[in-house]
Amino acid sequence: MNRLVLPLALALAAPICAEEPLPDAGRLTAMQAVFAPVDLDADLSALPPGERKALAKLVAASKVVDALYLRQAGSDNVRLLLDLAADPTPLGRARLRYFLTMKGPWDRTDHHKPFIPGVGAKPPQADFYPADATKEEVEAWQSALPAEAKDRATGFFSTVRRAGGALTAVPYSVEYHNELQAAAGLLREAAGLTGQPSLKRYLESRAKAFLDDDYFASDVAWMELDASIEPTVGPYETYEDEWLGQKAAFESFVCLRDDAETAKLQKFSSELQALEDRLPIDPRWRNPKLGALAPIRVVNELYASGDAAHGVTTAAFNLPNDERVLKQKGSKRVMLKNVQEAKFQKVLLPISGVALPAAARAKVDFDAFFTHILMHELMHGLGPHEAAGPDGKPVAARVMLKETSSALEEAKADVSGLWALQRLIDKGVVDKKLSETLHTTFLASSFRTLRFGIAESHGKGMALQVNWHLDRGGFIVNADGTFGLDMRKLPGSIEALVRELMTIQAKGDYAAAKALLTRMAVIRPPVRIVLDRLKGVPVDIEPRFVAAERLLAEHGE
């Protein structure tokens, strides 16, 4: 729900053909160069010794999570990594570095093109399902199961394997036993070192969840976390499961809370119910009582791994995804401020110099960029999350919408974020000067997201939005090929798209979602022209976790 990207061969180029040669060392170096290196540093001197040691344990646990995720992303990834590590040639070194960037042998920013010899197309089921199974076989098997077994088989925390030829659900605690035992041990050690009660409670309960697959208590503990150290570690997002969007991939963020910036944003939490009550959808689909907790944390990232650290760098996230927690507690929004600042300076400002006319570039503003990302994350928690299943009983909308769910959810969060901010501006909760920069900044940022590639949920969702606004006149193409806004038409276009997307989600209308994405999640010629002009602009950043590595060296991890 929460992930907020190539020169020479943009992510929007035609899919790979069998005759296309694999990139050589020079080409791989050029591909790597589109990620601008950025040192993520921090002054840890104010932390007491016990907290510093706990922080080192969390980084060590994150490295275990990284290896676990590599297995989830592809069954042959570990062997490939070992082969690349043993290749001392310039080509081998270049392949290894790009493999580590992409967490696998497929270019995530360019239609998952393989860049390692002997590697076929990226399996959409990753390693969550048997290699010899079909999506239809898995769906039929799941549908025939009794209720309790079906919940396990379709849940976040199990793989599907064969046993004697028959399909069976295998809990993560069994499938990834060795890695989870190691990670749980490190979390317990960190819990023993910290003097912060809520952090201790989260780490202990998350270590337990790694071993029994019951994540509810630790999700609640994470929601209630109130500490200078802000870790997020576990299986969360389902983007990697491109078959059914069911299976959660492991990730980790290790961050330090920015108390001053966090305090500035708390006012948004109290506005969420009022925004929910005004959503431009049928009133019966609004939630009359959102989860009681809606904490917002502004943090600076020290380390990220697994599903949180491949290709495009995450700028913010909204978790947990478990519908039980969302109903009872709501969700927490975490803003990675140092990551966002780096993206704005290294990527968005240079993009605006190409995509926008000169007169509009002064309206590209970091506060607008930061605030919209925040509202994007907040809006993930609003709107319909359940639909009527085939038997008439409520079921998670993501289950009904299958592989279309992630792209629709990202588009919904973007466009409803714009809608919501305008209401808060009108209400006086947000400074009115933001209205002068919000939409121009979003327009420039749309090209940043489109460079992620339309094989990726954020890129696909952004293509849908850009084309929707072009068709309704909210976005316009200038004579020189740059893009602009028509503010007479854009507000109506925004509200109409919020209504369209949330209605599809409320109905669980897979056919409508599929048709909308097929029609709108494409790259049209005017957009491609701008993207071609961006070949000299970095696609994203490449974080270097210098503070975390110093910490590990200091404590011998």
Beta bridge partners of 541: 36
Largest CA distance in the chain: 67
Strands (E), 260-404: 296-306, 316-319, 332-336, 386-388, 394-396
User: Do 57 and 49 touch, CB atoms closer than 8 A?
Assistant: no
AA identity, residue 32: Q
Residue with tokens 């010794």: 49
Sorted by sequence, the CB contacts under 8 Å of residue 58 that are 6+ apart come out as: 186, 187, 190, 229, 231, 233, 252, 254, 303
* pTM beyond 0.85: no
State how far the Cα of 120 lies from the Cα of 127, in Å rounded to an integer. 14
SS3 per-residue string spanning 399-461: HHHHHHHHHHHHHHHHHHHHHHHHHHHHHCCCCHHHHHCHHHHHHHHHHHHHCCCCCCHHHHH
User: CA-to-CA distance for 538 and 4, rounded, in angstroms?
Assistant: 17
Per-residue pLDDT of the chain (557 residues; tens, 9 = 90+): 444 432 323 333 333 344 578 999 999 999 999 999 999 998 898 999 999 999 999 999 999 999 999 999 999 999 999 999 999 999 999 999 999 999 999 998 888 999 999 999 999 999 999 999 999 999 999 999 999 999 999 999 999 999 999 999 999 999 999 999 999 999 999 999 999 999 999 999 999 999 999 999 999 999 999 999 999 999 999 989 999 999 999 999 999 999 988 988 888 888 999 999 999 999 999 998 886 667 889 999 999 999 999 998 998 898 998 888 888 888 888 999 999 999 999 999 999 999 999 999 999 999 999 999 989 988 998 999 999 888 888 999 998 999 999 999 999 999 999 999 999 999 999 999 999 999 999 999 999 999 878 888 899 999 999 999 999 999 999 999 999 999 999 999 999 999 999 999 999 999 999 999 999 999 999 999 999 999 889 999 999 999 999 999 998 77
